[in-house]
């Protein structure tokens, strides 16, 4: 984790969220509920009864879904939101097909076309989109060919083909749009948690990654070590050689830290001349080896720094990462005072 940044990404398959399903369910329930009296008043005979029944059933299913979203069933629906979307699209397409089959006239096919286009635009799983639209097209074709004198095929065949093509185009556009949003969000997230000068994580990035690691280590009774490093003489270098030289010193220190520590460790620049490193799962021996390696590499690079170290031992009372950073900071200042007083301390470990 020394050179990578977590990038929470948009789920490209998530056509809907639970929060968006709720108004959709309510809207579909109201629409099909309102169609019940419309069908009864405008259609005759069996067609009126069939269409009113289908519309009422669809409205009831959506109402049940809407109420379920306000109960303890919400997590289960959230885990199967794509199936809910597929169910909604299937019900919409089925209603239009039943309407066409019931009246034996071409005009309801406009609703079939709208349902097909809406399916392509709304659903994300392409396999589901293909299945729903393909079954709808096949069902419509069967209805058209079995409805003498077959007025449906002559008047609406090409339109339904066009609707299917448009649905495919909209689905492709949808996926590309989400991909662009995903890329933009990843870039923004990286900028928010990455230090521009060193490419390491910043304080926000350290906490974002480190807190879950700390929780996991605490549950598993593993030791956690936090190092706090302060580069000496940055202000003097900035004053005497310019800020470009100071930036090179900080960037070089960041590169040393990146090469010294393991990929599982979290290395961050907290700001200015201060860095922090979180070691998870490193025992006393391994932590000591890494600290010695750090001192050696800093000396090779001509970097003078004070390092404070704090260990959160297994079984110790829980401390937040912010608290551990503050304690390591205090340990670092103790090292700096010792060095200014003529001592040779290079790091001061503190056990918690």
**Mean pLDDT of the region 50-57:** 89
**Between these two residues, 81 and 215, which has the higher pLDDT value?**
215
**Mean pLDDT of the region 83-104:** 81
pTM: 0.56
Q: Which of 32, 156, 162 is nearest to 94 (CA)?
A: 32
Q: How many CB atoms lie within 10 A of CB 288?
A: 15
Domains of the chain: 18-189 (no CATH), 203-351 (3.30.70.270)
Question: Which residue matches tokens 């984790």?
Answer: 1
Which residues partner with 271 through β-bridges? 274
Task: Kindly state the percentage of the chain with pLDDT values over 90.
Answer: 23
Instruction: Using the predicted structure, report yes or no on whether residue 187 has a pLDDT greater than 60.
Output: yes
Which residues partner with 190 through β-bridges? none
Q: How many CB atoms lie within 10 A of CB 56?
A: 15
Give the chain's largest Cα–Cα span.
105
Q: Which of 45, 49, 68 is nearest to 57 (CA)?
A: 49
Read off the pLDDT of residues 169-184 as tens digits, 9 standing for 90 and up. Answer: 888 888 888 888 888 8
Distances (CA, A) of 102 to 17, 29, 39, 55, 315: 34, 21, 11, 13, 72
Q: Which of 146, 144, 120 is nearest to 131 (CA)?
A: 120
| Whole-number Å distance between alpha carbons of 182 and 187 | 9
Averaged pLDDT of the chain: 82
Read off the pLDDT of residues 252-309 as tens digits, 9 standing for 90 and up. Answer: 999 999 999 988 899 999 988 999 999 877 777 888 888 889 999 999 988 899 999 9
Q: pLDDT value at position 254?
A: 93
Contact of 313 with 295, CB cutoff 8 Å: no
**Among this protein's residues, is 3 annotated catalytic?**
no
Instruction: Using the predicted structure, report yes or no on whether residue 322 has a pLDDT greater than 80.
Output: yes
Q: Which of 25-34, 202-211, 333-342 ranks highest by mean pLDDT?
A: 202-211
Active-site position among 195, 230, 265, 273? 273
pLDDT band of residue 63 (cuts 50, 70, 90) is: very high
Helix (H) or strand (E) holding 60, with range, is helix 45-68
**Mean pLDDT of the region 116-127:** 82
Query: For 156, phi and psi rounded to 5 degrees?
Result: -130, 5
| Whole-number Å distance between alpha carbons of 324 and 285 | 20
Q: pLDDT value at position 346?
A: 52
């Amino acid at each position: 984790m020394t050179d990578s940044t977590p990038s929470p990404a948009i789920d490209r398959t998530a056509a809907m969220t639970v929060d968006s399903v709720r108004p959709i369910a309510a809207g579909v329930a109201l629409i099909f509920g309102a169609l019940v009296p419309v069908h009864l008043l405008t259609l005759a005979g069996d067609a009126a009864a069939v269409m009113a029944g289908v519309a009422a059933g669809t409205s009831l299913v959506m109402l049940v879904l809407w109420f379920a979203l306000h109960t303890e069933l919400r997590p289960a629906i959230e885990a199967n939101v794509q199936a809910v979307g597929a169910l909604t699209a299937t019900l919409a397409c089925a209603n239009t097909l039943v309407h066409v089959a019931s009246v034996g006239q071409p005009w309801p096919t406009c609703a079939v076309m709208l349902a097909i286009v809406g399916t392509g635009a709304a659903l994300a799983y392409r396999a589901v989109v293909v299945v729903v639209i393909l079954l709808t097209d096949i069902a419509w074709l069967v209805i058209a060919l079995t409805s003498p004198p077959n007025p449906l095929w002559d008047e609406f065949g090409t339109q339904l083909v066009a609707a299917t093509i448009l649905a495919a185009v909209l689905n492709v556009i949808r996926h590309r749009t989400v991909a662009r949003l995903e890329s933009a969000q990843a870039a923004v997230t990286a900028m928010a948690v990455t230090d521009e000068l060193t490419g390491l994580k910043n304080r926000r990035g350290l906490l974002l990654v480190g807190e879950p690691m700390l929780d996991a280590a605490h549950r598993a009774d593993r030791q956690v070590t936090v190092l706090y490093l302060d580069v000496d003489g940055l202000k003097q270098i900035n004053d005497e050689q310019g800020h470009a030289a100071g930036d090179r010193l900080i960037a070089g220190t960041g590169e040393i830290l990146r090469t010294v520590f393991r990929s599982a460790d979290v290395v961050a620049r907290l700001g200015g001349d201060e860095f922090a490193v979180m070691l998870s799962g490193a025992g006393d021996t391994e932590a000591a080896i890494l600290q010695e390696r750090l001192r050696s590499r800093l000396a090779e690079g001509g970097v003078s720094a004070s390092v404070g170290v704090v260990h959160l031992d297994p079984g110790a009372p829980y401390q937040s990462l912010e608290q551990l950073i503050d304690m390591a900071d205090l340990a670092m200042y103790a090292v700096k005072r010792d060095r200014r007083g003529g001592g040779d301390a290079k790091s001061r470990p503190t056990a918690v």
